[in-house]
Structure 1
């Protein structure tokens, strides 16, 4: 028995809650995964996993063994990485999940640089706006926005994204352009809704200490994907709130018009997130450092600093 492989396999089964999912994420036959765990149990003389036709339950002994195994594997990977890192580049499979607009607008256009730096990393990019379950799906990390409340995850902040209110000239033709948030009520709204809950997000406004939200009782159209949301605005379907980095090129071309520019909500923080009990291996460490630089280009804090410097220079 390859004891280290058996331990890794048991840990992955425990994380995934399924032999089948563990086999898929490890690229091993399901029979091999089952045999490795059985051999480990025989070696230890105790049951680590209770199997039924529908579920996998980790025994009390299995929970304790997993905690020790995670530390062992982290130390082993750290030891290997320290030695191997001094003589070779990171290599192997890395699964990263990210929202579609961030993938298509920021990450993918920059990936040739990542490939050039790390040609031996096999990057698997999951692109979707749905919330991903890192543990059960065997995902190494996700790039995710908003407030982080899951204490089982660690995160590195990549950037902040600002919001803008906008609409197309074709939609605004014949309408009074809103000058205050309460005047939005007279317009059709292009809303964004959660892919998991179906809940629509309100438009948020802030100017100094003044804050307000507007959630229409009904919406002209609601979508759950950021690129489709932008395209709905470009198609003249109503007014909506989009990320600034997406909308500004269309302000420059005249395809979209910014509205209520003084009413800016708080920025949207973007993080790279990974399980707290998973070792930051050389592949993930390399991707984390690279991603932090790749997302600098859309960081609203950088844009604010550049604007301030321009004002001071010409003031």
Structure 2
């Protein structure tokens, strides 16, 4: 009998925002912790939106771990100061983001080929903030899988709470297959609690990974939970929701998020419509194609709501 692993909700820019996290925790649940999309410094400042997103009042009922991305110590310290001000004591450092525009400036997985830069970033964070707890989210490397193995001696000696590993290379972005052999090489030598992240779309996928890697500390899921928000709950309870339960929860979920963004966004119906259409980009990939197309084509909130009701019949 496999142990039931904790599920962590991966951060996805533009999708897993505070409004989404709160609604998900309240209506579906099954998630141990939610990670914020990374906070970064742009033109010397942290975006106001990022500050609002991690404010505790906007994350009630959510066990939130804020994530930062930074190419150097100064920017990192600026963000950690914000996290401390907001009352956080757990911080995740992003060494996995694959977006080329950031990676080429040694952000995220773009820093993995430079062990001394990684050492400087992580050791400074830990030494300057002994009362904080740090984790790392990373990939196998930017260019090749040897990069994560070269970093392992450093990672193993640092007092990290855990490591989250997405077993692709940065240069792959989200293309191609996950590299389970590369993950296994890291898993076998990693002394920290290790969380697996990548291409978990069903409860069977989670059980398969847990069976192959029995000493995992948990799994992190992003796109799988966006497609099926009940995935963590169904895994935890050991059976899927009935069609009726799923339909009711999806109605509540959508209505909650729609109302919250309606209150937050000041750009009128057009801005709300654009935001809500993005909600369906991953959701219900096997849903009725005609209804999903109608959602995408809707140019008024009224026609959008009609299309959503048709999809959730």
TM-score normalised over the length of structure 2: 0.21
TM-score normalised over the length of structure 1: 0.21
Which structure's relative contact order is higher, taking Cα pairs within 8 Å and 6+ residues apart?
1
The structure with more strand, counted as a fraction of residues: 1
Higher Rg: 1
